[in-house]
Structure 1
Amino acid sequence: MTTNSPADPPVRRIDRILAFMALGIAIVSVICFVAIIVSTALGMGHADYQVGIWPVVGAFPLFGLPIAFLMILTLLIMTFIRKGRAGRP
């Protein structure tokens, strides 16, 4: 187990929320992507993907992955700013 040195600022709640939300959105997006691939491979390719839950399953990776990427980028920028401010005299 690592401990924070005195120069390291504590992890804030918003950082944890952003990290877990980005991870959750990315995982759900990948699961939806795999579901489309598997359903096509199992012969459901001729099925109508315009009805039921399939439009949501198809659209989630299109929006979820970029949102998760932006959340991770925001988290990195916030961390760099926080560590930069902590390092100032």
Structure 2
Amino acid sequence: MSRASGERPQERSGISRVERVLAAMTATVVGVSVVAFVAVLIGNYAGVVDGSGIWPVVVALPLVGFPIGFLLIIALIVLNAVKRSRRARADS
């Protein structure tokens, strides 16, 4: 399928592939961390105190995932600010 304008879809919409991948990574990391956090809350309420099996990973996942998600959000904000700055410089 050929495009009449010759532009890439991400250039027309203003969202680059890197931004889409970074946004997807952020949503995935934060989403999995929230699910693990809720699982820990439910597990503690249910009386799970045994630290065997998958529980150590489930407990540690939010401790690692939330800071990584925060750093990914910061990277996405910086990337967007640089893009807007370049666009503003090119328009003026």
- Normalising TM by the smaller chain, what interval? 0.7 to 0.9
Amino acid at match of 1:73: I
Mapped to 2, the partners of 1:43 and 1:84 lie a distance apart of 53
| 1:9 Cα deviation after fit | 7.5
Whether 1:57 aligns to 2:58 is yes
Greater helix share, structure number = 2
TM-score, length-scaled by structure 2: 0.80
Secondary structure class of the residue paired with 1:39: helix
Amino acid at match of 1:53: I
Counterpart in the other structure of 1:86 = 87
Using a 3 Å threshold, how does the CA distance of structure 1 residues 83 and 9 change in structure 2: closer, same or farther?
Answer: farther
Alpha-carbon deviations, 1:4-60, whole Å to 9, x = none? Answer: xxxx9721001000001111110110110110110111122xx312x2111110111
Amino acid at match of 2:67: P
Amino acid at match of 2:70: F
Mapped to 2, the partners of 1:22 and 1:85 lie a distance apart of 24
Mapped to 1, the partners of 2:13 and 2:41 lie a distance apart of 43
What is the root-mean-square deviation in Å for CA atoms of aligned residues? 1.5
Mind listing any 5+ residue stretches in structure 2 that lack a counterpart? 1-11
Counterpart in the other structure of 2:7 = none
Sequence identity of aligned pairs in percent? 39
Using a 3 Å threshold, how does the CA distance of structure 1 residues 79 and 9 change in structure 2: closer, same or farther?
Answer: farther
Counterpart in the other structure of 2:50 = 48
Whether 1:13 aligns to 2:12 is no
Mapped to 2, the partners of 1:84 and 1:35 lie a distance apart of 42
Whether 1:23 aligns to 2:27 is yes
Q: Does the Cα contact within 8 Å between 1:22 and 1:71 map onto a contact in 2?
A: yes
Mapped to 2, the partners of 1:43 and 1:30 lie a distance apart of 20
Amino acid at match of 2:31: I
